[in-house]
Amino acid sequence: MGTKRMGKQTIRLESRPVILASASVGGKQESKGPLAASFDYLSEDTYFGAKTWESAESAMLKKCFDLSLQKAAIQADTLDYIFSGDLLNQCVGSAFGIKDSNVPHFGLYGACSTMAESLSLAAMTIDGGFANTVCALTSSHFCSAERQFRLPLNYGGLRPPTAQWTATAAGSLILSAEGEGPVVTHVTTGKIVDAGVTDANNMGAAMAPAALETLCTHFADTGRTPDYYDIIATGDLCEVGSAILRELSSLNGYDLSSNHNDCGLLIYDRGKKDIAAGGSGCGCGASVLAGYFLPKLRSGEIKRLLFAATGALMSPTTTLQGESILGICHAVAIENLGGAC
């Protein structure tokens, strides 16, 4: 038992679960960003045809889920499990989004690390022999998140330069035991790291120590060095957190300067004032992975990606109570082992 373990917290998936297809959906702000062309669907209607911000998020997630099934050329009833979660209280974004799917469901909460968490568990469920086909998906919506975590939009609250812009986006991945596509080879599951940061407008700083912990452990567990990967993509440390991560990594003997990027830095035009330090939200990393990185892995443009999504574990209540913002980071190694696939 436990034979798939490598080192302290990494597992090797020898059956190499395949990412058959992926889809991403975005909103208005995303359609103006540099990755606009990477989305499968962009909506000018922030409500996605729904009546509330919360049901808009569910409608967006459902659209993304449907598109990923379409791209994988399967029906929902082929799926053995869905792993999903989101930022909304009680994860209602994804629960209402997939309520009519009729697929066994595991609900997750990993804040902005949710795509790495759902991808980890989806791949493990296939590698463990429990499933043939599994969906990993997540979303976030700027308007539902702002209302819940900060201020109602109508207040027009100002944002400090360290703040991050919650993406209105969703990402959905279909994994399978068979087929063609990039494969999941390793999973390094993160521990909760309390760096003592209490500023809810500086999530990057709160999460960077968790990213450091998981990345260093991944390298130690696998014997790999950062240059094994074409890209090490964190999400979403943005400007502040990324700088901290690179500096701390270097102090720990791991040079990330040539191949580190961050989903929160990629998704928006950095010149825009509102965007501040960059993008965030479960949907940011998920849509950048699904729409931007996975097609590059599929075409062979990149061969090895370490996707390391970070989450800030806090609620507005704990922040008001003076608690620190806990960080977590899960890393998933995704590789193209053949040519274009």
Residues numbered 64-83 forming contacts with a second copy, rule: CB under 8 A: 80-81
> Which string of DSSP letters, residue by residue, matches 34-70?
TTGGG-SEE-S-TTTT-SSHHHHHHHHHHHHHHHHHH
Site map 293..332 versus a second copy, x via CB under 8 A: ------------------x-xxxxxx--x-x--x-x----
- Contact residue for a second copy among 44, 100, 258, 339 (CB under 8 A): 100
Q: How far, in Å, are 65, 142, 162, 262 from residue 278 at the CA level?
A: 25, 13, 9, 9
Give the Cα separation of 142 and 160 in Å (integer). Answer: 17
Partners of 188 in the beta sheet? 10, 331
Using the minimum distance from each CB to a second copy, give the nearer residue, 171 or 190.
Answer: 190
Using the minimum distance from each CB to a second copy, give the nearer residue, 81 or 254.
Answer: 81
| Span from 38-46, 190-198, 247-255, 267-275 in contact with a second copy (CB under 8 A) | 190-198
Half-sphere exposure of 38 (CA within 13 A, CB side): 24
Give the Cα separation of 238 and 99 in Å (integer). Answer: 33
Residues numbered 144-173 forming contacts with a second copy, rule: CB under 8 A: 148
- Contact residue for a second copy among 23, 60, 69, 111 (CB under 8 A): 111
For residue 99, state whether it binds a second copy (rule: CB under 8 A). Answer: yes
- Contact residue for a second copy among 31, 46, 47, 106 (CB under 8 A): 106
Regarding beta strands 169-176 and 5-6, do their DSSP bridges make them parallel or antiparallel, or are they unpaired? Answer: unpaired
Using the minimum distance from each CB to a second copy, give the nearer residue, 217 or 249.
Answer: 217
Per the listing, tokens 């917290």 go with 9
Give the Cα separation of 280 and 159 in Å (integer). Answer: 14
For residue 196, state whether it binds a second copy (rule: CB under 8 A). Answer: no
Contacts of 319-326 with CB under 8 Å at 24 or more apart are: 319/198, 319/200, 322/198, 323/198, 324/194, 324/195, 324/196, 324/197, 324/198, 324/206, 325/197, 325/198, 325/199, 325/200, 325/203, 325/206, 325/207, 326/192, 326/193, 326/194, 326/206
For residue 7, state whether it binds a second copy (rule: CB under 8 A). Answer: no
Tell me, by CB under 8 A, how many residues bind a second copy. 68
Minimum Å gap between C-beta 330 and a second copy is 8
Structure tokens that stand for 33 in this block: 């960003």
Give the Cα separation of 195 and 267 in Å (integer). Answer: 26
How many other CB atoms sit within 10 Å of the CB of residue 162?
17
Minimum Å gap between C-beta 123 and a second copy is 10
| Span from 38-46, 123-131, 167-175, 250-258 in contact with a second copy (CB under 8 A) | 123-131
Give the Cα separation of 193 and 184 in Å (integer). Answer: 25
Using the minimum distance from each CB to a second copy, give the nearer residue, 108 or 232.
Answer: 108
Minimum Å gap between C-beta 51 and a second copy is 8
Site map 19..58 versus a second copy, x via CB under 8 A: --------------------------------xx-xx---
Give the Cα separation of 263 and 249 in Å (integer). Answer: 18
Minimum Å gap between C-beta 107 and a second copy is 4
Residues numbered 223-252 forming contacts with a second copy, rule: CB under 8 A: none
Using the minimum distance from each CB to a second copy, give the nearer residue, 63 or 218.
Answer: 218
Q: Which residues bind a second copy (CB under 8 A)?
A: 1-5, 9, 11, 15, 51-52, 54-55, 80-81, 85, 87-92, 95-96, 98-111, 117, 120-121, 124-132, 148, 177-178, 189-192, 194, 311, 313-318, 321, 323, 326, 328
